[in-house]
Protein backbone atom coordinates (compact mmCIF):
# COMPACT_ATOMS: atom_id res chain seq x y z
CA UNK A 1 0.00 0.00 0.00
CA UNK A 2 1.21 3.50 -0.80
CA UNK A 3 1.15 5.85 2.16
CA UNK A 4 2.21 9.45 2.35
CA UNK A 5 4.83 10.19 5.01
CA UNK A 6 4.35 13.72 6.27
CA UNK A 7 6.80 16.05 7.98
CA UNK A 8 6.36 15.17 11.64
CA UNK A 9 5.38 17.68 14.27
CA UNK A 10 8.41 17.94 16.53
CA UNK A 11 6.81 16.38 19.60
CA UNK A 12 5.31 13.27 17.98
CA UNK A 13 7.53 10.17 17.83
CA UNK A 14 8.68 8.85 14.47
CA UNK A 15 6.53 5.73 14.75
CA UNK A 16 3.34 7.68 15.48
CA UNK A 17 0.57 6.68 13.00
CA UNK A 18 0.30 10.27 11.74
CA UNK A 19 4.04 10.71 11.28
CA UNK A 20 4.43 7.32 9.63
CA UNK A 21 1.63 8.22 7.21
CA UNK A 22 -0.71 5.42 8.32
CA UNK A 23 -3.62 7.63 9.38
CA UNK A 24 -2.60 10.89 7.69
CA UNK A 25 -5.12 10.63 4.86
CA UNK A 26 -7.85 8.68 6.62
CA UNK A 27 -11.35 9.97 5.71
CA UNK A 28 -11.91 11.07 9.32
CA UNK A 29 -8.85 13.32 9.37
CA UNK A 30 -9.65 14.64 5.90
CA UNK A 31 -12.92 16.02 7.25
CA UNK A 32 -11.42 17.21 10.53
CA UNK A 33 -8.99 19.24 8.39
CA UNK A 34 -11.87 20.72 6.42
CA UNK A 35 -11.71 18.45 3.37
CA UNK A 36 -7.94 18.56 2.97
CA UNK A 37 -5.30 15.90 2.62
CA UNK A 38 -2.19 15.62 4.80
CA UNK A 39 -0.37 18.13 2.58
CA UNK A 40 -3.13 20.71 3.00
CA UNK A 41 -4.59 20.33 -0.49
CA UNK A 42 -8.34 20.20 -1.08
CA UNK A 43 -9.32 16.56 -1.50
CA UNK A 44 -12.36 14.34 -1.28
CA UNK A 45 -12.25 11.60 1.36
CA UNK A 46 -12.33 7.99 0.17
CA UNK A 47 -15.71 7.69 1.89
CA UNK A 48 -17.94 9.70 4.19
CA UNK A 49 -16.59 9.22 7.74
CA UNK A 50 -18.73 8.16 10.70
CA UNK A 51 -18.14 7.01 14.26
CA UNK A 52 -20.30 7.01 17.40
CA UNK A 53 -19.67 8.37 20.84
CA UNK A 54 -19.85 5.46 23.32
CA UNK A 55 -19.57 3.01 20.43
CA UNK A 56 -17.30 0.88 22.63
CA UNK A 57 -19.28 -0.45 25.53
CA UNK A 58 -22.59 -1.63 26.84
CA UNK A 59 -24.46 -1.98 23.54
CA UNK A 60 -22.13 -4.78 22.42
CA UNK A 61 -22.59 -8.34 23.70
CA UNK A 62 -18.88 -9.04 23.19
CA UNK A 63 -18.12 -6.12 25.52
CA UNK A 64 -20.46 -7.38 28.23
CA UNK A 65 -18.92 -10.86 28.03
CA UNK A 66 -15.36 -9.51 28.24
CA UNK A 67 -16.18 -7.22 31.17
CA UNK A 68 -17.79 -9.92 33.33
CA UNK A 69 -16.31 -9.77 36.83
CA UNK A 70 -14.18 -6.68 36.16
CA UNK A 71 -15.07 -3.21 37.44
CA UNK A 72 -15.28 -0.32 34.99
CA UNK A 73 -12.17 1.49 36.17
CA UNK A 74 -10.16 -1.72 36.47
CA UNK A 75 -11.07 -2.59 32.87
CA UNK A 76 -9.90 0.87 31.75
CA UNK A 77 -6.53 0.29 33.40
CA UNK A 78 -6.05 -3.21 31.97
CA UNK A 79 -4.19 -2.44 28.70
CA UNK A 80 -5.12 -5.66 26.92
CA UNK A 81 -8.80 -5.36 27.86
CA UNK A 82 -9.02 -1.63 27.10
CA UNK A 83 -7.47 -2.15 23.67
CA UNK A 84 -9.78 -5.03 22.80
CA UNK A 85 -12.87 -3.07 23.89
CA UNK A 86 -11.72 -0.09 21.79
CA UNK A 87 -11.32 -2.32 18.74
CA UNK A 88 -14.66 -4.17 19.08
CA UNK A 89 -16.91 -1.56 17.39
CA UNK A 90 -14.39 -0.98 14.58
CA UNK A 91 -14.38 -4.70 13.89
CA UNK A 92 -18.17 -5.00 14.09
CA UNK A 93 -19.43 -1.75 12.52
CA UNK A 94 -16.57 -0.66 10.18
CA UNK A 95 -16.65 2.84 11.69
CA UNK A 96 -14.01 5.35 10.61
CA UNK A 97 -12.50 5.99 14.03
CA UNK A 98 -11.86 4.20 17.27
CA UNK A 99 -12.53 6.19 20.44
CA UNK A 100 -10.21 5.14 23.25
CA UNK A 101 -12.05 3.09 25.85
CA UNK A 102 -11.56 4.79 29.19
CA UNK A 103 -13.42 7.13 31.52
CA UNK A 104 -13.11 10.81 32.31
CA UNK A 105 -12.41 10.04 36.00
CA UNK A 106 -9.39 7.86 35.21
CA UNK A 107 -7.06 10.85 35.86
CA UNK A 108 -8.53 11.02 39.37
CA UNK A 109 -7.76 7.34 39.96
CA UNK A 110 -4.25 7.75 38.56
CA UNK A 111 -3.63 10.73 40.84
CA UNK A 112 -4.68 8.68 43.87
CA UNK A 113 -8.10 10.25 44.41
CA UNK A 114 -10.63 7.75 45.73
CA UNK A 115 -13.28 7.19 43.06
CA UNK A 116 -15.37 4.30 41.78
CA UNK A 117 -18.00 3.90 39.07
CA UNK A 118 -21.05 2.44 40.78
CA UNK A 119 -23.42 0.52 38.47
CA UNK A 120 -26.61 2.46 37.88
CA UNK A 121 -25.14 5.59 39.48
CA UNK A 122 -21.88 6.65 37.84
CA UNK A 123 -18.68 8.12 39.31
CA UNK A 124 -18.76 8.38 43.12
CA UNK A 125 -15.90 9.94 45.08
CA UNK A 126 -14.85 8.82 48.55
CA UNK A 127 -14.81 12.49 49.63
CA UNK A 128 -16.22 15.47 47.69
CA UNK A 129 -13.88 18.43 47.14
CA UNK A 130 -15.58 21.42 48.76
CA UNK A 131 -12.94 23.67 50.36
CA UNK A 132 -9.70 25.39 49.38
CA UNK A 133 -7.87 23.02 51.73
CA UNK A 134 -9.46 20.06 49.90
CA UNK A 135 -8.23 21.39 46.57
CA UNK A 136 -4.71 22.08 47.82
CA UNK A 137 -4.52 18.54 49.20
CA UNK A 138 -5.14 17.01 45.76
CA UNK A 139 -2.09 15.14 44.46
CA UNK A 140 -0.62 15.85 41.06
CA UNK A 141 -0.38 12.95 38.59
CA UNK A 142 3.09 11.53 38.10
CA UNK A 143 3.80 10.92 34.42
CA UNK A 144 4.70 7.31 35.15
CA UNK A 145 1.09 6.69 36.23
CA UNK A 146 0.05 6.85 32.57
CA UNK A 147 1.95 3.64 31.74
CA UNK A 148 -1.22 1.50 31.38
CA UNK A 149 -2.80 4.18 29.19
CA UNK A 150 0.25 4.33 26.93
CA UNK A 151 0.34 0.55 26.60
CA UNK A 152 -3.39 0.36 25.85
CA UNK A 153 -3.10 3.02 23.14
CA UNK A 154 -0.12 1.27 21.56
CA UNK A 155 -1.95 -2.06 21.55
CA UNK A 156 -4.98 -0.35 20.01
CA UNK A 157 -3.11 1.40 17.21
CA UNK A 158 -1.34 -1.85 16.34
CA UNK A 159 -4.72 -3.60 16.20
CA UNK A 160 -6.19 -0.86 14.03
CA UNK A 161 -3.30 -1.18 11.58
CA UNK A 162 -3.91 -4.93 11.35
CA UNK A 163 -7.65 -4.50 10.77
CA UNK A 164 -7.10 -1.89 8.08
CA UNK A 165 -4.47 -3.99 6.33
CA UNK A 166 -6.82 -6.98 6.34
CA UNK A 167 -9.45 -4.77 4.67
CA UNK A 168 -6.92 -3.76 1.98
CA UNK A 169 -7.19 -0.02 2.66
CA UNK A 170 -4.64 2.67 1.95
CA UNK A 171 -5.24 4.21 5.37
CA UNK A 172 -5.36 2.99 8.93
CA UNK A 173 -8.43 3.75 11.02
CA UNK A 174 -7.39 6.54 13.43
CA UNK A 175 -7.69 6.41 17.20
CA UNK A 176 -9.25 9.41 18.94
CA UNK A 177 -7.96 10.20 22.41
CA UNK A 178 -10.19 12.03 24.85
CA UNK A 179 -10.62 13.61 28.26
CA UNK A 180 -13.34 15.23 30.28
CA UNK A 181 -13.33 19.01 30.24
CA UNK A 182 -12.32 20.69 33.51
CA UNK A 183 -15.87 21.80 34.35
CA UNK A 184 -17.35 18.32 33.94
CA UNK A 185 -14.51 16.65 35.85
CA UNK A 186 -14.65 19.26 38.62
CA UNK A 187 -18.44 18.94 38.80
CA UNK A 188 -18.09 15.27 39.75
CA UNK A 189 -15.43 16.19 42.28
CA UNK A 190 -17.52 18.88 43.98
CA UNK A 191 -20.85 17.05 43.90
CA UNK A 192 -19.20 13.74 44.79
CA UNK A 193 -21.43 11.90 42.32
CA UNK A 194 -23.53 12.62 39.21
CA UNK A 195 -25.92 15.55 39.57
CA UNK A 196 -28.76 16.85 37.41
CA UNK A 197 -28.52 20.49 38.47
CA UNK A 198 -24.89 20.90 39.67
CA UNK A 199 -25.91 23.29 42.43
CA UNK A 200 -22.79 22.81 44.54
CA UNK A 201 -20.31 23.47 41.75
CA UNK A 202 -22.27 26.44 40.41
CA UNK A 203 -22.35 27.90 43.91
CA UNK A 204 -18.60 27.38 44.32
CA UNK A 205 -17.87 29.34 41.14
CA UNK A 206 -19.32 32.55 42.54
CA UNK A 207 -19.23 32.12 46.34
CA UNK A 208 -15.77 30.48 46.50
CA UNK A 209 -14.15 31.74 43.34
CA UNK A 210 -10.58 31.18 44.52
CA UNK A 211 -11.42 27.60 45.39
CA UNK A 212 -13.11 27.08 42.04
CA UNK A 213 -10.20 28.57 40.10
CA UNK A 214 -7.67 26.32 41.81
CA UNK A 215 -9.86 23.23 41.39
CA UNK A 216 -10.56 23.94 37.72
CA UNK A 217 -6.85 24.55 37.11
CA UNK A 218 -6.05 21.18 38.76
CA UNK A 219 -8.69 19.47 36.60
CA UNK A 220 -7.27 21.14 33.48
CA UNK A 221 -3.80 19.81 34.27
CA UNK A 222 -5.13 16.31 34.95
CA UNK A 223 -7.31 16.12 31.83
CA UNK A 224 -4.67 17.77 29.67
CA UNK A 225 -1.97 15.34 30.77
CA UNK A 226 -4.37 12.42 30.18
CA UNK A 227 -5.03 13.57 26.59
CA UNK A 228 -1.37 14.24 25.92
CA UNK A 229 -0.37 10.74 27.02
CA UNK A 230 -2.88 9.26 24.57
CA UNK A 231 -1.80 11.42 21.64
CA UNK A 232 1.92 10.84 22.17
CA UNK A 233 1.23 7.10 22.39
CA UNK A 234 -0.55 7.02 19.02
CA UNK A 235 -3.94 8.80 18.98
CA UNK A 236 -4.39 10.87 15.79
CA UNK A 237 -6.95 13.33 17.21
CA UNK A 238 -8.26 14.32 20.63
CA UNK A 239 -11.74 15.20 21.87
CA UNK A 240 -12.57 17.20 25.00
CA UNK A 241 -15.98 16.26 26.41
CA UNK A 242 -17.90 18.83 28.46
CA UNK A 243 -20.90 16.71 29.33
CA UNK A 244 -22.37 19.07 31.94
CA UNK A 245 -21.51 22.55 30.59
CA UNK A 246 -25.07 22.87 29.28
CA UNK A 247 -26.17 23.59 32.86
CA UNK A 248 -24.41 26.97 32.67
CA UNK A 249 -25.35 30.38 31.33
CA UNK A 250 -23.25 31.86 28.56
CA UNK A 251 -21.79 34.45 30.94
CA UNK A 252 -20.79 31.83 33.50
CA UNK A 253 -19.26 29.65 30.79
CA UNK A 254 -17.14 32.54 29.53
CA UNK A 255 -16.04 33.67 32.99
CA UNK A 256 -15.53 30.41 34.86
CA UNK A 257 -15.13 27.59 32.34
CA UNK A 258 -13.69 28.60 28.95
CA UNK A 259 -10.25 29.62 30.31
CA UNK A 260 -9.80 26.20 31.89
CA UNK A 261 -10.97 24.31 28.81
CA UNK A 262 -8.38 26.31 26.90
CA UNK A 263 -5.78 25.33 29.50
CA UNK A 264 -6.62 21.62 29.15
CA UNK A 265 -6.45 21.80 25.36
CA UNK A 266 -3.13 23.63 25.50
CA UNK A 267 -1.54 20.39 26.76
CA UNK A 268 -2.03 18.84 23.30
CA UNK A 269 -2.33 21.87 21.01
CA UNK A 270 1.38 21.86 20.15
CA UNK A 271 1.11 18.28 18.84
CA UNK A 272 -0.79 19.53 15.78
CA UNK A 273 -3.53 16.92 15.79
CA UNK A 274 -7.18 17.87 15.18
CA UNK A 275 -8.93 18.91 18.39
CA UNK A 276 -12.65 18.28 18.84
CA UNK A 277 -14.69 20.02 21.54
CA UNK A 278 -18.11 18.59 22.40
CA UNK A 279 -20.75 19.42 24.96
CA UNK A 280 -24.42 18.70 25.44
CA UNK A 281 -26.90 21.56 25.63
CA UNK A 282 -24.19 24.05 24.67
CA UNK A 283 -25.82 25.69 21.66
CA UNK A 284 -25.75 29.10 23.35
CA UNK A 285 -21.95 29.18 23.44
CA UNK A 286 -20.62 26.98 20.65
CA UNK A 287 -18.69 29.99 19.37
CA UNK A 288 -16.99 30.31 22.75
CA UNK A 289 -16.11 26.61 22.70
CA UNK A 290 -14.47 27.07 19.32
CA UNK A 291 -12.65 30.13 20.63
CA UNK A 292 -11.31 28.06 23.55
CA UNK A 293 -9.76 25.60 21.10
CA UNK A 294 -8.37 28.37 18.91
CA UNK A 295 -6.89 30.21 21.89
CA UNK A 296 -5.04 27.05 22.92
CA UNK A 297 -3.37 26.63 19.53
CA UNK A 298 0.15 27.99 19.01
CA UNK A 299 -0.98 29.21 15.57
CA UNK A 300 -4.80 29.48 15.33
CA UNK A 301 -4.57 30.19 11.61
CA UNK A 302 -2.99 26.76 11.04
CA UNK A 303 -5.04 24.73 13.51
CA UNK A 304 -7.90 22.33 13.02
CA UNK A 305 -10.62 23.02 15.62
CA UNK A 306 -13.71 20.82 15.29
CA UNK A 307 -17.01 21.19 17.14
CA UNK A 308 -19.23 18.30 18.15
CA UNK A 309 -22.90 19.24 17.95
CA UNK A 310 -25.65 17.58 19.97
CA UNK A 311 -28.99 16.39 18.59
CA UNK A 312 -30.88 19.56 19.59
CA UNK A 313 -29.38 21.69 16.83
CA UNK A 314 -29.50 21.94 13.05
CA UNK A 315 -26.03 21.54 11.55
CA UNK A 316 -26.70 23.97 8.72
CA UNK A 317 -27.86 26.65 11.14
CA UNK A 318 -24.84 26.02 13.39
CA UNK A 319 -22.46 26.35 10.44
CA UNK A 320 -24.09 29.58 9.29
CA UNK A 321 -24.14 31.13 12.77
CA UNK A 322 -20.50 30.25 13.49
CA UNK A 323 -19.15 31.66 10.25
CA UNK A 324 -15.42 31.46 9.60
CA UNK A 325 -12.93 30.62 12.31
CA UNK A 326 -9.46 32.02 13.01
CA UNK A 327 -8.07 29.96 10.13
CA UNK A 328 -10.36 31.78 7.70
CA UNK A 329 -12.44 28.68 6.95
CA UNK A 330 -15.78 27.31 8.03
CA UNK A 331 -15.44 25.09 11.09
CA UNK A 332 -15.75 21.32 10.63
CA UNK A 333 -18.66 19.86 12.59
CA UNK A 334 -19.31 16.44 14.06
CA UNK A 335 -22.77 14.98 14.65
CA UNK A 336 -25.63 14.89 15.12
CA UNK A 337 -28.02 11.93 14.64
CA UNK A 338 -30.68 11.82 17.36
CA UNK A 339 -29.98 8.65 19.40
CA UNK A 340 -33.71 8.25 20.08
CA UNK A 341 -34.31 7.41 16.43
CA UNK A 342 -32.10 4.32 16.72
CA UNK A 343 -35.19 2.75 18.32
CA UNK A 344 -37.65 3.76 15.59
CA UNK A 345 -38.48 2.20 12.25
CA UNK A 346 -35.78 2.10 9.57
CA UNK A 347 -37.54 4.42 7.14
CA UNK A 348 -37.69 7.19 9.76
CA UNK A 349 -34.08 6.66 10.81
CA UNK A 350 -32.81 6.58 7.23
CA UNK A 351 -34.60 9.81 6.36
CA UNK A 352 -33.14 11.45 9.46
CA UNK A 353 -29.59 10.26 8.70
CA UNK A 354 -29.84 11.57 5.14
CA UNK A 355 -31.07 14.91 6.47
CA UNK A 356 -28.14 15.14 8.90
CA UNK A 357 -25.71 14.38 6.07
CA UNK A 358 -27.30 17.06 3.89
CA UNK A 359 -27.20 19.66 6.68
CA UNK A 360 -23.59 18.80 7.45
CA UNK A 361 -22.64 19.80 3.93
CA UNK A 362 -22.80 23.45 5.03
CA UNK A 363 -19.92 22.96 7.46
CA UNK A 364 -16.22 23.22 6.70
CA UNK A 365 -16.07 19.44 6.99
CA UNK A 366 -18.47 16.89 8.43
CA UNK A 367 -17.95 13.72 10.43
CA UNK A 368 -21.24 11.92 11.04
CA UNK A 369 -21.87 10.94 14.64
CA UNK A 370 -24.69 10.74 17.12
CA UNK A 371 -25.79 13.89 18.89
CA UNK A 372 -24.85 12.10 22.12
CA UNK A 373 -23.62 8.63 23.08
CA UNK A 374 -24.93 5.22 22.01
CA UNK A 375 -27.70 4.20 24.45
CA UNK A 376 -26.80 0.93 26.22
CA UNK A 377 -29.84 -0.98 24.92
CA UNK A 378 -29.23 -0.10 21.25
CA UNK A 379 -29.44 -3.00 18.78
CA UNK A 380 -25.87 -3.19 17.36
CA UNK A 381 -27.20 -4.27 13.97
CA UNK A 382 -28.92 -0.89 13.64
CA UNK A 383 -25.59 0.91 14.09
CA UNK A 384 -23.96 -1.32 11.49
CA UNK A 385 -26.77 -0.54 9.05
CA UNK A 386 -26.41 3.20 9.72
CA UNK A 387 -22.68 2.99 8.95
CA UNK A 388 -23.40 1.15 5.71
CA UNK A 389 -25.94 3.82 4.74
CA UNK A 390 -23.53 6.68 5.43
CA UNK A 391 -20.73 4.99 3.49
CA UNK A 392 -23.12 4.54 0.55
CA UNK A 393 -23.72 8.30 0.28
CA UNK A 394 -21.02 9.75 -1.96
CA UNK A 395 -18.80 12.28 -0.16
147 among annotated binding-site residues: no
58 among annotated binding-site residues: yes
Catalytic site residue 58?
Answer: yes
24 with 4: CB under 8 angstroms? yes
Catalytic site residue 103?
Answer: yes
| Strand-pair partners of 238 | 177, 275
Residue tagged active-site, from 32, 63, 109, 188: 188
103 among annotated binding-site residues: yes
Residue tagged active-site, from 3, 47, 67, 385: 67
310 with 279: CB under 8 angstroms? yes
57 among annotated binding-site residues: yes
Distance, in Å, from the CA atom of 314 to the CA atom of 360, rounded to the nearest integer, reads 9
Residue tagged active-site, from 3, 58, 316, 385: 58
Task: Give which of 177, 162, 25, 163 is closest to 92, Cα–Cα.
Answer: 163
Pure H helices in the chain:
27-32, 61-67, 72-76, 79-93, 106-111, 132-136, 147-166, 182-191, 199-207, 209-233, 250-252, 258-269, 286-296, 315-322, 346-360, 380-392
Residue tagged active-site, from 32, 92, 96, 103: 103
243 among annotated binding-site residues: yes
Is residue 328 exposed (0-12), middle (13-18) or buried (19+ Cβ within 10 Å)? exposed
Residues of 293-325 as b/e, b for ≥16 C-beta within 10 angstroms? bbbbbeebeebbbbbbbbbebbbbebbeebeeb
Catalytic site residue 36?
Answer: no
| CA torsion angle 158 161 166 169 (round to 10) | 180
363 among annotated binding-site residues: no
Angle, in degrees to the nearest 10, between helices 286-296 and 258-269: 40
Catalytic site residue 54?
Answer: yes
Residue tagged active-site, from 36, 48, 54, 155: 54
338 among annotated binding-site residues: no
55 among annotated binding-site residues: yes
Residues marked as catalytic: 54, 58, 67, 103, 188
Binding site for substrate, by residue number, is 54-58, 103, 188, 243, 372
Binding site, by residue number, is 54-58, 103, 188, 243, 372
Amino acid sequence: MNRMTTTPPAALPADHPLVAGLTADAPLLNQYRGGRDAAGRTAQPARRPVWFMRQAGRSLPEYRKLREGTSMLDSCLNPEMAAEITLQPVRRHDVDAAIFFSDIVIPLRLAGVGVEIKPGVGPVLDSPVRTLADVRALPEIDESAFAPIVEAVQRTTAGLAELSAEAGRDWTTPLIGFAGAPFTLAAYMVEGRPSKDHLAVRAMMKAQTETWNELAAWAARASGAFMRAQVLAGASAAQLFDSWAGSLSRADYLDYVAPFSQAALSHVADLKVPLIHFGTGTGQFLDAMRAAVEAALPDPAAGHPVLGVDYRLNLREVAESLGKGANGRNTPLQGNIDPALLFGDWATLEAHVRQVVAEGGAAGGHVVNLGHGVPPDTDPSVLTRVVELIHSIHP
